[in-house]
Amino acid sequence: MSTHEYVAGSCNIGKGEIKRRQLVALIGLILSISTLIGFISTNAEPSLRLSIFLPLSVASIGWIQSRRKFCLAYGFMGTFNFGKLGQLSKVSDKEALVADRKTALTILIQSLTLASVLTLIVYLLPLS
């Protein structure tokens, strides 16, 4: 799929925006690993380990958006960007807007599901 044109419900960001999502995913991954190392080194209680959900969410949202070439925020707002970073265009077609919002919701659900599963794994780790 070309990353140079908008496709309703399928592709709403170009190369620059994709790289931005990859950076967000990397930052979330680094924060998640740092948090996990902290949990391991302190034998953190399982209830405290649930806090890893936030950095795991950041990582999973960034990763899935970059893989799908689709920004969930842009999808909900009815915008897209294939130009300079921050240079948004509006989606004018109602059917395209519906498709974008459906894809955005799907990405959000997939991301939070992935973060939840990974959080559960961290929660169940035998650290002591």
pLDDT of residue 109 exceeding 50, the answer is yes
Structure confidence by residue, pLDDT tens digits, 67-83:
999 999 999 999 999 99
C-alpha closest to that of 118 among 107, 106, 110: 110
The Cα-based distances of 63 to 1, 14, 48, 51, 98 in angstroms read 18, 15, 25, 20, 23
pTM: 0.91
pLDDT at site 18 = 96
Determine what percent of the chain is predicted with pLDDT higher than 70: 97
DSSP structure string for 67-120: HHT--HHHHHHTEEBSSSTT--EE---HHHHHHHHHHHHHHHHHHHHHHHHHHH
Residue 81: count of CB within 10 angstroms of its CB: 19
| The pLDDT value given to residue 3 | 52
Question: Mean per-residue pLDDT for 51-66?
Answer: 98
Bridge partners for 80 per DSSP:
89
Residue 1 has a pLDDT of 47
